[in-house]
Chain A
Amino acid sequence: AHPGTSLCHQMLFFIRAAILIQNWYRFTMARLEMRRRYSLSIFQSIEYADEQDQLQVFSTLLFFFPFVPVSHIFTSPSVSQVVDEGLYLTEFEKKIDVPDSYYGPRLSFPLTVEDANALLHAFRNEQLLHARYVLQLLYETRRVLKEMPNITHLSTSYSKEITVCGDLHGNLDDLLLIFYKNGLPSEQNRYVFNGDFVDRGKNSMEILIILFAFLLIYPNDLHLNRGNHEDYIMNLRYGFTKEVSKKYKDHGQQILCLLRDVFSWLPLATIIDSKVLILHGGISDTTDLDFLNALERNKLTCLLSSLCSGNSFFFFFFLKLKSLMQPPKSVRDRQDQLKERIPTTRPSKHTAGKTQHISLSGSAEPSGSNLPPDPALKEWKQILDILWSDPRSQNGCTPNKCRGGGCYFGPDVTAKLFERYNLKMLIRSHEFKPEGYEISHNGKVITIFSASNYYEEGSNRGAYIKLNPELIPRFVQYQVSKVGTIESSALKCLREKIYAHRSELTSAFAQYDLNGTGRISVNDWAAAMESVLQLELPWRMLRSQLAQTTPDGEVDFMSCFYDLKIGQPIKEVQPALVETLCRYRKDLEIIFNVIDKDRSGLISLEEFGQTWKLFASHLGIDVYDESLDKLVLSIDYNKDGHIDFNEFLEAFHVAELVGCLGSSPSCH
């Protein structure tokens, strides 16, 4: 053969081989990326659905206000018996003893850098700060915060750069990593922390202690903005309250009460060089910075609860009542079903889903109401908007359906606000971002999220912003541990949801299975999953992980529920109740906590009955008194006339359920 030809041939072989390998590699990487993305999708949709559930629960509580003593939610119980604030430090020393066996940090006020270092060292070694010092710290923090305006103004003139951090959500490792990479706060190293310090992660308390300590040492150089999670109803739901109660058994309640107040005193926003606005959520088309700066921010202890004082509350209640004049669909249905003996589970929130929701955002005036606009309502909405809103690329300002509070705001809303207040940039947090940050609205809006591995190990990076005197942002990303696969975690989460909706799903599938074969098309299966679970997920992609198919490509729909066994429930209890409990475990916990006024974790048998009825009406299921009594008696295991919430969950093996799901069927 001619040497030239064979050389050409050889070259061609190499080139073709290279192309094949490159092609295959890019294909494989794209598939991995897709799997990573939909895993994140799963986590995110479940999270947002949860948050929406949260607000729905709350609206229902308001509806039942006349029958349930929830009035104590809306007023801050008195936090301290001490009238003269100057004496509080010594009061605590007198009242709370720190034993010699305590080896943690012993703080002395005013705090110094040594105290801060001692705290950092202790927390790295997983020690707890003693309750007395926590309380003293919180009192001091409140005193300092009270002096601060609602909107803090900073200037870059005398420091090199200002560092802005986003959501931390109890991830102490991330805060320590930020301090390691970027240095501790000081006069030369200024920080702004943009809210959501607590909930979800397991070190919310430690993060607060560190941030407050530095705030006391460098009040002009460490700045905090309030986030939507600095709100005690959110804390009840998303873990911070539990964390505090566990870590501080004796003084937990005192600490939580004081925290409620401290949170309400957190500033709402920070402005740098009059050009860069930093706040937690976003803005709306009605955001009024002057109004925000002037209002009394501490009145709103809990955004989700009410407009606090006197008349405003009743107005708000009336507003809610107006939207609830049409009682929730399930209540009406239940009345229609008085004749039926079998309780039905028909959660109105899920069938209502995206089209109809009980919104806490929306316009300041109720439609058709003759009541004059209430200034307290305006205050509440202004703050809700800046703590809960999200930017979107479409123009306009629409209610934020995902969250149930705040708005979606478009580039035109941003532009208008910038023009009105002569701003250049908006830095906000509030939304998870895989890379830790995201730029939108043509570079005008930056989202900064500092909790890495937020959903799961490997789910995302965290980031912080370095802002120089020219106000050009520089992003620093990090991730606390190695990237691993998060897919199996996401799927576990999803399977838990599937189990919780088992009976609804089964009937939805059955509707497509006209001949009772147990099989339906992929299309029908996907439609049923989406409509019942109300989660926008790529079902066809997930199908192979969630259900088995027959050789001819149909879905054996009951296979969705294999491996999702729950232990034998108590005989007297209807199976539907068990399932409902799984789904509404969190809701039940909130309601339980509200009724358990002293948060002792114990409620009496009558109180329990009351809780159960409230819970049941929220879901539209019927409860019959005899089965309820039997239920209650069987749950009070130690027969002391009280039910511990854990006893209750234990009875239905709910606590174990999460551990069991997705693993072997033989877990009981």
Chain B
Amino acid sequence: GAQARDGAVAEIEKKIIEAFEVFDHECNKTVDVREIGSIVRSLGCFPTEAELHELLAKVEEEEPTGHIHLEKFLPVMTKVLLDRSYRPIPEDVLLHAFEVLDEHKCGYITKEELVKYLTKEGEPFTQEEMEDMLSTALDPETNSVHYRDYISMMIVDET
């Protein structure tokens, strides 16, 4: 009942504090605002950039200082985890997303097309993000991304 829930909340809070502290370089319970995305994601959540901005608005100071305090972040993030917001993207959904972009259903997407979609549509990649992804995903011989292989590789590395 209530005790079990309290236990669960305490456990969640500890996880959040741990993740927060990895980025808290000066051990003063603040992190750079640019690291919030990494922290939220490393706790298992898949927020979109828009959702991250919403979350930031809740945890920033009235006068944004570039730093986020743990005491503001903790309750907001606890609720996120309890409500299981920002659900994970299952592998098959991810695969299907790539297949949508693969107009001719040939199992790969050319570099030009992928760059076009990911840097122009949705929540566009920065040039650095695009280059980073291509550096692992691109098959230089065919100049395209074989997305099934890419997904399998990335997911294995995760576990």
Question: In the bound complex, do residue A20 and residue B22 qualify as a contact, i.e. CB atoms below 8 Å apart?
Answer: no
> Which A residues are in CB contact (< 8 Å) with B133?
25
Q: Once the chains are docked, how many angstroms separate the CA of A536 from the CA of B24?
A: 12
> Which B residues are in CB contact (< 8 Å) with A14?
100-101, 117, 121
A37 nearest CB neighbor, chain B only = B22
Question: In the bound complex, do residue B22 and residue A21 qualify as a contact, i.e. CB atoms below 8 Å apart?
Answer: no
Q: Once the chains are docked, how many angstroms separate the CA of A25 from the CA of B123?
A: 12
> Which B residues are in CB contact (< 8 Å) with A523?
10-11, 14
The minimal Cβ–Cβ distance linking A37 to chain B, given in whole angstroms, is 5
Q: Which of B84-139 contact A (CB under 8 A)?
A: 89, 93-94, 96-98, 100-101, 117-118, 121-125, 129, 132-133
The minimal Cβ–Cβ distance linking B42 to chain A, given in whole angstroms, is 4
The minimal Cβ–Cβ distance linking A556 to chain B, given in whole angstroms, is 18
> Which A residues are in CB contact (< 8 Å) with B117?
14, 17-18
Q: Mark A8-22, 1 if CB is under 8 A from B, else 0.
A: 000001111111111
B120 nearest CB neighbor, chain A only = A18
Question: In the bound complex, do residue B42 and residue A31 qualify as a contact, i.e. CB atoms below 8 Å apart?
Answer: yes
- From A139-147, A366-374, A537-545, the one touching the partner chain is A537-545
Question: In the bound complex, do residue B132 and residue A15 qualify as a contact, i.e. CB atoms below 8 Å apart?
Answer: no
Q: Taking beta carbons and an 8 Å cutoff, which residues of B are in contact with A?
A: 10-11, 14-15, 18-19, 21-23, 26, 28, 37-42, 45-49, 89, 93-94, 96-98, 100-101, 117-118, 121-125, 129, 132-133, 154, 157-158
Selected from B11, B40, B118, the residue in CB contact (under 8 A) with A21 is B118
Q: Once the chains are docked, how many angstroms separate the CA of A41 from the CA of B93?
A: 35
Q: Once the chains are docked, how many angstroms separate the CA of A25 from the CA of B132?
A: 10
Selected from A31, A522, A539, the residue in CB contact (under 8 A) with B11 is A522
Q: Mark A624-657, 1 if CB is under 8 A from B, else 0.
A: 0000000000000000000000000000000000
Cβ-based interface call for A565 (8 A): no
Cβ-based interface call for A211 (8 A): no
Q: Taking beta carbons and an 8 Å cutoff, which residues of A are in contact with B?
A: 13-34, 37-38, 41, 392-394, 522-523, 526, 536, 538-541
Return 17 A-B CB contacts under 8 Å, by A number: A14-B117, A14-B121, A16-B122, A17-B101, A20-B93, A22-B122, A22-B124, A24-B46, A27-B45, A30-B40, A31-B42, A32-B157, A34-B22, A38-B22, A393-B28, A522-B11, A538-B22
> Which A residues are in CB contact (< 8 Å) with B37?
26, 30
> Which A residues are in CB contact (< 8 Å) with B40?
30
> Which B residues are in CB contact (< 8 Å) with A18?
97, 101, 117-118, 121-123
* Interface hub of A22, A29, A392, A526 (most chain B Cβ within 10 A): A22
> Which A residues are in CB contact (< 8 Å) with B15?
540
Question: In the bound complex, do residue B94 and residue A21 qualify as a contact, i.e. CB atoms below 8 Å apart?
Answer: yes
Question: In the bound complex, do residue A526 and residue B14 qualify as a contact, i.e. CB atoms below 8 Å apart?
Answer: yes
> Which A residues are in CB contact (< 8 Å) with B19?
34, 538, 541
Question: In the bound complex, do residue A34 and residue B48 qualify as a contact, i.e. CB atoms below 8 Å apart?
Answer: no
Question: In the bound complex, do residue A20 and residue B97 qualify as a contact, i.e. CB atoms below 8 Å apart?
Answer: yes
> Which A residues are in CB contact (< 8 Å) with B49?
22, 26
> Which A residues are in CB contact (< 8 Å) with B10?
523
* Interface hub of B10, B40, B41, B158 (most chain A Cβ within 10 A): B41
* Interface hub of A13, A24, A29, A392 (most chain B Cβ within 10 A): A24
Known: A17-B96, A18-B97. 6 other contacts (CB 8 A): A22-B125, A25-B129, A25-B133, A30-B38, A34-B38, A41-B22
The minimal Cβ–Cβ distance linking B40 to chain A, given in whole angstroms, is 8
Question: In the bound complex, do residue A539 and residue B38 qualify as a contact, i.e. CB atoms below 8 Å apart?
Answer: no
Selected from A20, A27, A393, A394, the residue in CB contact (under 8 A) with B41 is A27
The minimal Cβ–Cβ distance linking A353 to chain B, given in whole angstroms, is 15
Selected from B21, B42, B94, B101, the residue in CB contact (under 8 A) with A24 is B94
Q: Once the chains are docked, how many angstroms separate the CA of A522 from the CA of B158?
A: 21
Question: In the bound complex, do residue B22 and residue A19 qualify as a contact, i.e. CB atoms below 8 Å apart?
Answer: no
Question: In the bound complex, do residue A19 and residue B123 qualify as a contact, i.e. CB atoms below 8 Å apart?
Answer: yes
Question: In the bound complex, do residue A22 and residue B118 qualify as a contact, i.e. CB atoms below 8 Å apart?
Answer: yes
> Which B residues are in CB contact (< 8 Å) with A24?
46, 89, 94, 97
Closest 6 CB pairs of A and B: A18-B122, A30-B41, A34-B42, A19-B122, A17-B100, A20-B97
Question: In the bound complex, do residue A21 and residue B18 qualify as a contact, i.e. CB atoms below 8 Å apart?
Answer: no
Question: In the bound complex, do residue A13 and residue B18 qualify as a contact, i.e. CB atoms below 8 Å apart?
Answer: no
Question: In the bound complex, do residue A27 and residue B46 qualify as a contact, i.e. CB atoms below 8 Å apart?
Answer: yes
The minimal Cβ–Cβ distance linking B20 to chain A, given in whole angstroms, is 9
Question: In the bound complex, do residue B98 and residue A33 qualify as a contact, i.e. CB atoms below 8 Å apart?
Answer: no
Q: A26-B41, A523-B11 are in contact. Are A37 and B94 (CB under 8 A)?
A: no
Q: Once the chains are docked, how many angstroms separate the CA of A41 from the CA of B39?
A: 15
Q: A31-B41, A37-B23, A536-B21 are in contact. Are A20 and B94 (CB under 8 A)?
A: yes
The minimal Cβ–Cβ distance linking B18 to chain A, given in whole angstroms, is 4
A544 nearest CB neighbor, chain B only = B159
Q: Once the chains are docked, how many angstroms separate the CA of A536 from the CA of B22?
A: 9
The minimal Cβ–Cβ distance linking A29 to chain B, given in whole angstroms, is 7
Q: Once the chains are docked, how many angstroms separate the CA of A34 from the CA of B45?
A: 13
Q: A25-B133, A393-B28 are in contact. Are A19 and B48 (CB under 8 A)?
A: yes
> Which B residues are in CB contact (< 8 Å) with A15?
121-122
> Which A residues are in CB contact (< 8 Å) with B41?
26-27, 30-31, 34
> Which A residues are in CB contact (< 8 Å) with B125?
22, 25
> Which B residues are in CB contact (< 8 Å) with A540?
14-15, 18
> Which B residues are in CB contact (< 8 Å) with A20?
89, 93-94, 97
Q: Once the chains are docked, how many angstroms separate the CA of A538 from the CA of B18?
A: 5
Selected from B23, B98, B123, the residue in CB contact (under 8 A) with A22 is B123
Q: A18-B121, A27-B46 are in contact. Are A541 and B26 (CB under 8 A)?
A: no
Question: In the bound complex, do residue A539 and residue B18 qualify as a contact, i.e. CB atoms below 8 Å apart?
Answer: yes
The minimal Cβ–Cβ distance linking A434 to chain B, given in whole angstroms, is 10
Q: Once the chains are docked, how many angstroms separate the CA of A369 from the CA of B101?
A: 78
> Which B residues are in CB contact (< 8 Å) with A13?
100
The minimal Cβ–Cβ distance linking B3 to chain A, given in whole angstroms, is 14
B7 nearest CB neighbor, chain A only = A523
> Which B residues are in CB contact (< 8 Å) with A539?
18
B114 nearest CB neighbor, chain A only = A21
Question: In the bound complex, do residue A28 and residue B154 qualify as a contact, i.e. CB atoms below 8 Å apart?
Answer: yes
